[in-house]
Each structure stands twice: as C-alpha cells, then as structure tokens.
Structure 1
Amino acid sequence: MFAGVVVSKTMLTNQFYRRLVWPTIAPITRATRQQALNGHNHNGGSNGVLLWWSRRLMSSNNGGGGGGGSLDNNFLTAQQSLKGLTAEPDNDIKLRLYGLYKQATSGQCTAPKPSAFNMVDRAKWTAWSQLGQLSKSEAMQQYVATVNSLTGADGGGSGGQTRGQQTPNDKEDGQHLLVEKRNGVTKITLNRPDKFNAITKPMYESIASALNDAANDETIKLAVIIGSGKFFSSGNDLSNFEQAFKQFKGDMRAGTEQSAKVLQHFVAAFIDFPKPLIGAVNGPAIGIAVTTLGLMDCAVASDSAYFQTPFSSLGQSPEACATFTFPHIMGFSKASEMLYFNHKMSAAEALQCGLISRIVPSAQFDDYIENWIFGDKGLVNTCYPKSMQCSKQLVKNDSFRLKLHEINKEECDTIKERWISDECLDAIQKFLQKKK
C-alpha cells in the first residue's frame, strides 16, 4: 500500500496453496487422465488421481522408483497430510513446500525467471531455484520433514498451528491502537513496538475512526498521536498488499482500488479534523508516518527521531497531500529531496526546515509531552478550546481543506497505479529477497 518497511513474504492465493499439493508439472493427455480415473483410483475421487499421478511422476523421475520405496511412500503420505491441515501455513512454508515438491519431482530449476509483474510465479520460481543442486531424494526428505512439523507427526510439531498463522490484519486491532480520552484530550498511541508500529489496514481504519470521534466529541479540546517503544512508526505494513490480494482472490487491480479507498478515507480524517492535532514523534518516522505530519498542526520530536519517505526506492508515489504540504512547509528543494530522492532527514534538519517545532531529549520525551499537555501550565489548562478551533479555521479554512481533498484524491489515483507498476512490484520482490 503506502511507503513503509514491514512486509510479509509475498502475496499468495488459496488457489496457489492448492497447487502446492497438486502442481501442474507436465501435460496429462486424455488417455492417461482416463486411465487414472478408471484403473488407478484406489482411494476414490481426486485423491486417487493425485496418488496415481504422483506415483507416475516418481516412477518417471526416479527411474521407476528403484531403491526408494519407503521414501516415496512417505512423500505421497505427506502430500495427503498437507490437505488435511486445519490451519493454513504461512507464506514462507507454502513457498518452501512448493520449491521442495518441484525439486523432488522435476529436479533442479531450469525454467526462465518470470517477470516482476507476475509476483506469484516469481515467488514460486525463486523458492524452487534457490534449492540449486539439491538431490531429489534430499528434497523429498525435507518435504516430508516440513509437512510432519506442521501436522505434529514428528512429535515436535504444532498440531497444525504454524508461525505467522494469525496476522495483525486478521484480528481486532484494539491492542495495536490505544485510544485514551483524558481531561479533554484524545491520545492515540500506535502500539506495535515489535513491528516498529507499522500500520495495518485495521489500524488505518481505527485511527480515522478515533479522529472522527474526537472531532464530534464536545468534551475533546485536542488530539495527540504518539508511538510506543523506540519508533514513532515505520509506516505502512506491506502485508496490507497480501491481505488485499487474498481478499480479492488475486485480482491486483481490485485490491489496489480498495487500498486506495482506505488511504483516501484515512487522510481525509486528518484534513477535516477541526481541533488542534499534535504529532508526538518519539522516534524514527517513515513513509506515511512522515507525510501525515504535514497535515498536523504541530509536531515535536525526540532527538532519536529521523524522517524518511522512500517512495522512489519502492517504486511508489507520495500520499497524505505531501506533494502540497512539503513544498509549502520546507520549500521545493528540500521537499524534492524527501519526495524524490529518499533523503533521510535528521531531527535537527526537520526542525530547521519547519517540519517539527522543537526537539526534546529522548530520555525526557514522555515527561515533556505529559507536562506540555496536562501540566498546570499545559495546553489543557491554559488554552480555551473554542479559541483554538477558531484560529485553526482561519489558518485552514474551507477553501484550503477543499484543495487538500482534491490533492488527496489525485495522489490516491496516482498511487494505486504505482502499486501495480513494474517498478513497485520489482522493488517489493527485491525487498522480499533481502529478508530471506
């Protein structure tokens, strides 16, 4: 989706998962298909065809199967066991199983490398080709061991529960976004410190909802967004691509359309927020965690913070109205460094160019925010809420907000095309390969 650093392995569909068990390896003629159905369907239905076809493959690939009967049987049993899993393995394991199956039945990969645009086939090709000269028997052994670890057949498995089975996007995100109302302040805390506060799709929706709720709550004077742990936010969680891909059964364009709508709605909540909105940047900020600062009314940062928008390194384009706010705040030259050239801006540089209003020592940051907002001489006790809102309305009036909404739509229309571009898909694929 948007510029960020956290990613799942790749985007795979349920259809691809089924192909792990019954991949297309060689053409089956009408005669051999009928032979399988009529004369070799010992187990009934498609399972019989699968077993017969697997034996046919093993016979042709292993010289009739001589000397490997026990391993061959274990290999066939593992394929059947894989179909009975109650929990779907994560993508790392799917790809590994695919690569091992191909290596065991066809040997070393000699197929041409698929284009970057075809991400599923590219990921499958990589999983197979990286096995190199691994022998067929070794590939079979590793395949069997991997399946046994999933089913618990080796005594040390997880009984079908696999690493990464439940992703942040699959469950309620309340624990990943903390919303607290206190003394007239809505405090929104990004709470995924183990993932550097990368933002999932439910978090985007929850942040927008929290801002809209605070806007309509007469008891709320202002809102503040902060991160937990050492990062403010590493930006978009690129597993959002995977979730959209699965939701729309591999239709990339439908997935990007839906993602663009989520983005536009998210940014609109910042544009329309009528009360003071503060960014408390407790650590590094990347991607959309930086661009949204341009829509806030004030941002302060710890001395451990830095700011980066790596759009061109990911083959993407800016969002959150940064194409307007960044030149407006810091001038065209510095904005170009950020938006085109992936410049990593220090806290001192951000202060100098006006992206933030002050720098606070990291060790004192939490205490500073607490006193600045809630202290005896803090904002809550010294600033009348209607006065602040009237001032903001003059600074960001209706025509200004209308302009931002137009820019938001234009940016979203552009980025959804970038998400399916060769450059973006190639960049994501390279990132996946670096993570291995």
Structure 2
Amino acid sequence: MPKPVQFDVDNNAKQDRWKETARQSHVNLVSSLSPSSEASSQEKYGADEKVQGSKDIVVISEDGITKIVFNRPTKKNAITLQMYQEIMLALKNASTDNSAITVFTGTGDYYCSGNDLTNLINATGEIQEVAIKTAMALREFVSCFIDFPKPLVAVVNGPAIGIAVTLLGLFDAVYASDKATFHTPFSHLGHSPEGCSSYTFPKIMGSAKATEMLVFGKKLTAREAWAQGLVTEEGGYLVSQTSQELMRKNEKQNLHAANAEESAVIQERLTSEESSNALMNFMSRKAKL
C-alpha cells in the first residue's frame, strides 16, 4: 500500500498527542459509536450525556468526544440543506469546546446516502434556484471540515454515498464495518466530484483508482477501500491512515482552492440540461421502485 504523502509542519507534537488520544478512544468506543437500530439516537444514549441537535442531526458530547450522528434512517440519512447548517454549527461548537475529537456516524443501516436530491427538484420537476444555493452551501460546508482544528473520525456503519464518501479524504481516521460500501455516482447524476476529492483522492489512492471512483462511479466494499488506501485494517475494524497529513496547516490553501473550483463546476453542472435530465431519470426510476 502506498504510504501517505508527508508534509513538513511545525505542530507535529500537538498533532501526535491528538492522534494518540484519538487512537485510544477509537479502539474503546468504536462499537458503541455505531448505532444499528432504527431508533432515534436521542433515545439510545443515556441521560447523563449532553445531547443537542434536531431530529435529523444529533450531537452528543461526553468523555471528551463530540459525536455527530446522521439520524434520518428512513431517508438513508440523506443530507438536507438544513442539516448542512446544523452540522456546521456542531463543528463550530466542537472546535472551541473541551472535546479532543469529533466522531461522525449514522443511525440505522446507512452511514449517509449523500445529498438529498429531492432538494434540487421543484413540484414541476425542474431544476430551481435551490441548485445554486446547494452549490454555495456545499462550499461553505466543506470549508468547515478543512478548517476544523481537531481530529475528525468517521465510523462508517453502512453504505456511504456521494459527499459522505468524498469528505472522508478530510478525516483523520475512518472506521468501517463489513457492511460499509463507498460509492460516488456523480457521472450517473450529471454531477462532478465534491468534498475536495479531486485533490485528496488521487493523493490517497493514485490517479487511476481515484478516476475509477469519481468518474466511473466504481463502488468499493470496505475491504476494497482498504486495498486502495482509503481505509486501513486495525483489529476487527478498519481505520484510515491516509488523510492526517492532508489536514496540515500548509495544505489548507490547496484544499480551499480545490473546494472553490469544485463548487464552481458543481453550480454549472446542477443548472445544466444534462444534469436536469439525469436527475429526472433518477427520480423517475426511484418512484417506480
């Protein structure tokens, strides 16, 4: 497996302490951090935990860890524009509180199925202004992950799609159950890569493998993701070693540049006829299921 690219930094000691804290916490808590039932996360956690958020995003703070839970299992934890705002607020709060790490996971069978595509289509089935708003919101959303000052951990308990996959290139650790899959079907929907994946994925898995995922929409199992460097085996779970270096201070400029470029392309694509037709075809097939 290719080793991650190394960058010179002036805060290695601080990052090493964070990494060790995260590693120990991950090993101890990975099972409990991966909800498997359809019950609301607010019902799953004890009364002594600090729980915040809406019904779709639940934020739990305890024992120096902030857990952000996608809690929309009947919709495969698809992300709405309101959820964008709630996640950004949760990250802002976690960046300044006493927590050491922030963990993302999902309730139910899915980790997250990406953006809720129904946000992009109005009652008559046409792309509307919300498409442009989505592209703008996406840029701000990704920027919050780029600038987040503490280790980010993903516990991928099931299928991950779209932005839920591409964001993993900005995480410091990724656990994945054997039920996890990783899919970026952008071309099938007339979209383009997002979440800085046009920059991070080639670094993580090489240009050819990144193209297979981002352009041709190849779906990876957890084991295949391990083989390609997106996640790495440790014990009974999988944990990423690939993106720690990408979050260093001297990489932020490159990441923000990639995010800006991707967002501009996404905005153009979302308002194109090709994207509109692809979305309509997708929603038509979905309605027949």
TM range (shorter): 0.7 to 0.9
Matches within 5 A, 1:41-60: none
Partner of 1:413: 264
Higher gyration radius (CA): 1
**What is the aligned residue count?**
229
Match of 2:75 among 187, 195, 200: 195
1:280 to 1:251, Cα distance in 2 relative to 1, 3 A: closer
Question: How far did 1:260 drift?
Answer: 1.5
Partner of 1:312: 187
Partner Cα separation in structure 2 for residue 317 and residue 332 of structure 1: 16
Question: How far did 1:356 drift?
Answer: 1.4
1:375-425 deviations in whole A, cap 9, x for unaligned? xxxxxxxxxxxxxxxxx6x76333301111111011000001101112111
Partner Cα separation in structure 2 for residue 353 and residue 277 of structure 1: 20
Partner Cα separation in structure 2 for residue 304 and residue 359 of structure 1: 16
Match of 1:206 among 86, 91, 111: 86
Structure 2 counterpart of 1:412, one-letter code: S
Match of 2:54 among 151, 163, 174: 174
Partner of 1:335: 210
Secondary structure of the 1:413 match is helix
1:300 to 1:324, Cα distance in 2 relative to 1, 3 A: same
Secondary structure of the 1:337 match is helix
Q: Which has the higher helix share?
A: 1
Residue 91 (structure 2) pairs with residue 224 (structure 1): no
Matches within 5 A, 1:7-406: 174-217=54-97, 219-242=98-121, 252=128, 254-358=129-233, 396-406=247-257
Partner Cα separation in structure 1 for residue 246 and residue 158 of structure 2: 28
Structure 1 counterpart of 2:260, one-letter code: K
Partner Cα separation in structure 2 for residue 430 and residue 396 of structure 1: 38
Partner Cα separation in structure 2 for residue 293 and residue 395 of structure 1: 11
1:269 to 1:195, Cα distance in 2 relative to 1, 3 A: same
Partner Cα separation in structure 2 for residue 300 and residue 232 of structure 1: 11
Secondary structure of the 2:105 match is strand
Residue 73 of structure 2 contacts residue 110 of structure 2 at CA under 8 Å; is this kept in 1? yes
Partner Cα separation in structure 1 for residue 132 and residue 114 of structure 2: 20
Partner of 1:73: none
Structure 1 counterpart of 2:254, one-letter code: K
Residue 301 of structure 1 contacts residue 360 of structure 1 at CA under 8 Å; is this kept in 2? no
Residue 308 of structure 1 contacts residue 338 of structure 1 at CA under 8 Å; is this kept in 2? yes
TM-score normalised by the chain length of structure 2: 0.75
1:185 to 1:266, Cα distance in 2 relative to 1, 3 A: same
RMSD: 2.1
Deviates more, 1:292-301 or 1:257-266: 257-266
Secondary structure of the 1:181 match is strand
Question: How far did 1:216 drift?
Answer: 1.5
Partner Cα separation in structure 2 for residue 401 and residue 277 of structure 1: 15
Partner Cα separation in structure 2 for residue 359 and residue 210 of structure 1: 29
1:10-30 deviations in whole A, cap 9, x for unaligned? xxxxxxxxxxxxxxxxxxxxx
1:235 to 1:251, Cα distance in 2 relative to 1, 3 A: closer
Residue 191 of structure 1 contacts residue 227 of structure 1 at CA under 8 Å; is this kept in 2? yes
Q: Name the % identity.
A: 45
Partner Cα separation in structure 2 for residue 174 and residue 193 of structure 1: 14
Q: Which has the higher strand share?
A: 2
1:72-127 deviations in whole A, cap 9, x for unaligned? xxxxxxxxxxxxxxxxxxxxxxxxxxxxxxxxxxxxxxxxxxxxxxxxxxxxxxxx
Secondary structure of the 1:323 match is helix
Question: How far did 1:258 drift?
Answer: 1.6
Partner Cα separation in structure 2 for residue 431 and residue 275 of structure 1: 38
Partner Cα separation in structure 1 for residue 117 and residue 159 of structure 2: 18
Partner Cα separation in structure 2 for residue 181 and residue 195 of structure 1: 25
Partner of 2:41: none
Structure 1 counterpart of 2:78, one-letter code: A
